[in-house]
A and B are shown apart, each in its own frame.
Chain A
Amino acid sequence: MNIDLSRRGFLKLAGAGVAATSLGALGFGDAEAAEKAHVRAFKLASTTETRNTCTYCSVACGILIYSKGDVAAGEQATIVHIEGDADHPTNRGTLCPKGAALKDIVHSESRLTTPRIRRPGTDRFDEISWDEALDKIARALKDDRDANIVLKNDAGVPVNRWTSTGFLAASATTNETAWLTYKTVRAMGIAGLDNQARV
């Protein structure tokens, strides 16, 4: 039941066919090539189709994302359309009012685009470079860990517990992000690790 010929491929063929037959039949001769170059391919035929899942609830509806450009091929890609995946067993192409508006969260005006810092006592964010931000964070972690990690309890048992820095992880990230987060946070000895499953 898988689609062997993707919709995109099918439209490409069909689109080209329509242009060729109609122009050829009318016998436009020399004008044909120039005219053909102006026939715009269908929107979905000029995009890359990518399988993904809705980012909101854990029904995890299948979606198809259509982009101009192909990130897998190393190109810049802009997402132009998102729809339900008709081949997905759970949602069979349907989306709820949240999933149906997914494209607009990708392009939301609230998307963050640059690292920023709010300095103590001020009322605004200033831009900061990635390097500066990451170095500041690493320094803050090291200083606090060295000062506050508890190596042994009163009974002399090694406990290696760092409780003065905490980390909340995100239950909308991937398993792979979660594992890397787990690994790095626990290696430092952080005890206050949690995620939205707590709520």
Chain B
Amino acid sequence: MTNPWTDIRNTDLVVVMGGNAAEAHPCGFKWVTEAKAHRGAKLIVVDPRFTRTASVSDYYAPIRPGSDITFLMAMINWMIQNDKVQWEYVKNFTNAAFIVKDEFGWSDGLFSGYDPEKRDYDKSSWDYVMGDDGFAQVDMTLQHPRCVWNLLKEHVSRYTPELVQQICGTPKDRFLHIAQMIGECSAPDKTMTSMYALGWTQHSKGAQNIRGMAMLQLILGNIGVRGGGMNALRGHSNIQGLTDIGLMSNLIPGYLNIPTEKEVDWTTYMSSRSFKPLRPGQTSYWQNYSKFMVSFLKAMWGDAATAENDWAFEWLPKLDVPGYDILRMFELMKAGKITNYFCQGFNPLLAFPNRAKLTEALSKLQLLVVMDPLETETARFWENHGEHNDVDSAAIQTEVIQLPTTCFAEDDGSLVNSGRWLQWHWAAGTPPGQARRDTWIMSQIFLRVKKLYETEGGVLPEPIVNLTWDYADPNEPTAEELAKEMNGRALSDVHDLKDTTKLLTPAGKQLVNFSQYRDDGSTMGACWIFSGSWTEDGNMMARRDNTDPDDAGMYPNWTYAWPLNRRVLYNRASADLKGKPWDASRKLMEWNGEKWTGYDVPDIAPTSKPDEVGPFIMNQEGTSRLFTRGMMRDGPFPTHMEPFESPIANPFNAQMRGNPVARVFADDAAQFATSDEFPFVATSYRLTEHFHYWTKNNRINAALQPEFFVEISEELAALKGITLGGWVRVWSKRGSVKAKALVTKRLKPLQCGDKTVYVVGIPLHWGFVGAARKGWGPNSLTPFVGDANVETPEFKAFLVNIEPATGEAVS
């Protein structure tokens, strides 16, 4: 989230699309009802299903799963056609004025540079025209035919309300009504907020869905302001933190990158990361990349990371593919290329697509290690549970070690919420039996591996034996010690860069924040964006002062928000070119003639003049981007793409299947279905009473929602002779499940051109262990393909068939 949960109270309009906050994030959704009750805010819901969020909305429209880009591009088109644009914001705070190369273009659903063989784009034309002065060329009048604004205008002109009706199945009048409501928020003193979740991410073009809304929000001037923003509601309690700390194949903490093979050494790696400003006088804060990276390497390897050995850069793995993401790992596992696999609090047998493939892959491992507080299906993938897990145990040679861990209530430490608050919590109970903390387990595993290398020798022991391990009790580092490492400390005296006689932090002390990170080896810090969270003043994440000056919704002294305790990202954009708030009644930051003041920590150098330095300081442009250059694999603008399994051909290019640059493994491509065989669209969702596959282990939640069901419309029920509460079989090209049928008015058939589309809703909370009745998840059915940029699996739009089935009588 760019903004905190508590800021939603400041909005005029909430758009929930790609999420269902009332059911999946109930206590956060409370702030929507607060805004409705006290500000007269309105709520719009666009969803295939009339959810509980929709039931309290002011306006609802249905949409076909997987067609969001068309809806959003049409929305942008309508704003442009009807002059619902926050012009001062668009001209100055976005890259609308930047001029793009002549070679860039779009036709037949594809951008320039497409190579069907490689399933990839040559992105060299997706860039700005550079001037002789070394800066990107701009036309502040927006008259130049090749400026981003005019290219965007042309790009979205294809997306008409009629096309929305045809592709999305959203009635034209509903679309137009929503456009009018959203259009009002282009006024500088009106704001809209976007709340979304996995309904947007779990598509083969999920990242482009989100960009679509981000662009709309920029055009309306709603980023960086109170009551605005792009608000990813996020899933698990610390999914934000694990992303921040970079526990992903291609990441290093703080959104730095694991090198690729092309980055053969430190110099080459850094040469593409100079981040020179593209316009005069801009901040381009990533110019500090080397300071963050060297401090990270010093946190890893301490004295063994020196200027002479390029800070031990060579010890990091280098990637030969974009990433060894989970889909790729299971593909390799199925091919017998993975020996050992660890699942720390992760239940991939239910969380990843195509369960049959997952079981086959796990069966080829030598060793599976599961660390979890609870029983999981993954730990017992080899156990026969009749139709719910029909495996032959004797044929499965995988050894499984299951290690009991503590749960949240038995552990200290911090979690990052969706609003980027790092909240420290404390242990309250004794772990059951022999359960141990993950920190102890990881230390034990690591120390034993290290000992083997020390006693036996082996291949490349250096990164292991030299890993910094200066903990008071080497067997179990404390949360405090680890948190301090993430903040960073001075290894030798740190001086002011401008006035080198001025000592900022003496050797051995915690750094004040990441502005003190250095690339000369004088500082260590594991995660630069968290720096400031544990200083010499103590643990900022433990703060619990809930005062909220002028009820702004910022709570500046409650725990700690990264970066720098900033509560709203891009908050300088809440004020105009003179530094005056767009809306005086909703001031966030203001220029007082000398510096930025207000309710938040300014997201800009405090003395940067408002008419000189742009608000998007992380970008080389100093502006936000309506056009993303070559930063996304599937296009600098979002363009309509169908799901890989769709009842409809892409109207821009009937030959194009799914996302043309998404990675597809051969076996999986063979398992994609067409609508001739599988005529119905399925989508997955969550229920209020359950959290993923955990709460079925809890008798209360299991009693509240005891049994697996699928949800269908009355029309589909009539078509297939299915009765409410009766058994049905649902199958895809990859698997089959049996469920009770929930026949409702919440789903209605969608009319997409001449095609009637029926949707089957599949909740995801059942498996074969726990206190609830045994069942299945949607992953028995879903396709094994991910988003082209981030490989998030396509769970939200795929094809199935359905028929009545027999089973025990309805109770």
Interface residues of A (CB under 8 A from B): 1-2, 48, 50-62, 65-67, 69, 71-72, 76-79, 82, 87-92, 94-99, 101-102, 104-106, 108-123, 125, 128, 130, 133-142, 144-146, 148-149, 151, 153, 155, 157-184, 186-199
- Given known contacts A119-B399, A151-B460, A182-B253, A168 and B342 CB-to-CB distance under 8 angstroms: yes
Collect the chain B residues with CB atoms within 8 Å of residue A118's CB.
382, 398-402
Collect the chain B residues with CB atoms within 8 Å of residue A146's CB.
458-459
Collect the chain B residues with CB atoms within 8 Å of residue A71's CB.
410, 427-430
Of all chain A residues, the one with the shortest Cβ separation from B464 is A187
What's the least CB distance linking A170 to chain B, in Å? 3
B320 at the A interface (CB under 8 A): yes
Contact (Cβ within 8 A) B417 A89: no
Q: Which of A99, A133, A144, A186 has the most CB of B within 10 A?
A: A186
Q: Which residue of A79, A120, A180 is within 8 Å of B482 (Cβ)?
A: A180
- Given known contacts A177-B413, A187-B467, A77 and B439 CB-to-CB distance under 8 angstroms: no
Contact (Cβ within 8 A) A56 B247: no
A174 to B770, CA, bound (A): 25
Number of interface residues of B (CB under 8 A): 169
A149 to B459, CA, bound (A): 8
A101 to B442, CA, bound (A): 30
Count CB-based A-B contacts (< 8 Å).
501
What's the least CB distance linking A31 to chain B, in Å? 38
Contact (Cβ within 8 A) A175 B483: yes
Q: Which of B246, B373, B421, B545 has the most CB of A within 10 A?
A: B373
Contact (Cβ within 8 A) A110 B558: no
Collect the chain B residues with CB atoms within 8 Å of residue A196's CB.
235-236, 239, 242, 346, 351
Contact (Cβ within 8 A) B426 A140: no
What's the least CB distance linking A45 to chain B, in Å? 17
Q: Which residue of A78, A106, A168 is within 8 Å of B344 (Cβ)?
A: A168
- Given known contacts A56-B691, A134-B448, A142-B458, A191 and B700 CB-to-CB distance under 8 angstroms: no
| Contact digits for B228-268, partner A, Cβ 8 Å, 1 yes 0 no | 00000111111111111111110001000010010010000
A187 to B296, CA, bound (A): 12
Contact (Cβ within 8 A) B324 A191: yes
B477 at the A interface (CB under 8 A): yes
Contact (Cβ within 8 A) B28 A59: yes
A106 to B21, CA, bound (A): 25
Contact (Cβ within 8 A) A90 B413: no
Collect the chain B residues with CB atoms within 8 Å of residue A199's CB.
198, 202, 235, 326, 351-352, 792-793, 795
Contact (Cβ within 8 A) A65 B400: no
Contact (Cβ within 8 A) A170 B345: yes
A120 to B739, CA, bound (A): 33
Contact (Cβ within 8 A) A135 B448: yes
A28 to B695, CA, bound (A): 52
Q: Which residue of A98, A125, A140, A171 is within 8 Å of B691 (Cβ)?
A: A98
A1 to B430, CA, bound (A): 31
Contact (Cβ within 8 A) B340 A174: no
What's the least CB distance linking A74 to chain B, in Å? 10
B343 at the A interface (CB under 8 A): yes
B318 at the A interface (CB under 8 A): yes
Contact (Cβ within 8 A) B393 A122: yes
- Given known contacts A120-B398, A166-B342, A179-B527, A112 and B404 CB-to-CB distance under 8 angstroms: yes
Contact (Cβ within 8 A) B445 A141: yes
B548 at the A interface (CB under 8 A): yes
Contact (Cβ within 8 A) B320 A137: no
A98 to B689, CA, bound (A): 6
Collect the chain B residues with CB atoms within 8 Å of residue A111's CB.
373-374, 404, 407, 432, 435
Of all chain A residues, the one with the shortest Cβ separation from B5 is A90
Of all chain B residues, the one with the shortest Cβ separation from A64 is B428
Contact (Cβ within 8 A) A123 B26: no
16 intermolecular pairs with C-beta atoms under 8 Å apart: A66-B428, A92-B30, A97-B701, A104-B699, A112-B435, A125-B400, A137-B448, A148-B339, A151-B460, A165-B341, A179-B486, A179-B527, A187-B315, A192-B328, A194-B249, A199-B202
B6 at the A interface (CB under 8 A): yes
Q: Which 7 A-B pairs have the closest CB atoms?
A: A170-B345, A113-B433, A174-B413, A112-B404, A138-B448, A60-B417, A50-B428
Q: Given A2-B546, A160-B317, A164-B339, output 8 extra A-B contacts at Cβ < 8 Å.
A: A112-B373, A113-B433, A117-B399, A160-B460, A171-B239, A175-B416, A186-B317, A193-B249
- Given known contacts A76-B430, A122-B393, A173 and B367 CB-to-CB distance under 8 angstroms: no
Collect the chain B residues with CB atoms within 8 Å of residue A59's CB.
5, 25-28, 233, 417-418
What's the least CB distance linking A169 to chain B, in Å? 4
A194 to B561, CA, bound (A): 24
B89 at the A interface (CB under 8 A): no
Contact (Cβ within 8 A) B367 A137: yes
Contact (Cβ within 8 A) A96 B27: yes
Collect the chain A residues with CB atoms within 8 Å of residue B325's CB.
194, 198
A145 to B416, CA, bound (A): 33
| Contact digits for B455-486, partner A, Cβ 8 Å, 1 yes 0 no | 01011100110010000000001010011011
Of all chain A residues, the one with the shortest Cβ separation from B541 is A175
Of all chain B residues, the one with the shortest Cβ separation from A128 is B401
Contact (Cβ within 8 A) A117 B547: no
What's the least CB distance linking A85 to chain B, in Å? 9
Contact (Cβ within 8 A) A184 B400: no
B446 at the A interface (CB under 8 A): yes
Q: Which residue of B233, B264, B443, B453 is within 8 Å of A58 (Cβ)?
A: B233
Q: Which residue of B329, B458, B769 is within 8 Å of A192 (Cβ)?
A: B329
Contact (Cβ within 8 A) A198 B242: no
What's the least CB distance linking B599 to chain A, in Å? 14
- Given known contacts A67-B429, A134-B445, A173-B345, A191 and B319 CB-to-CB distance under 8 angstroms: yes
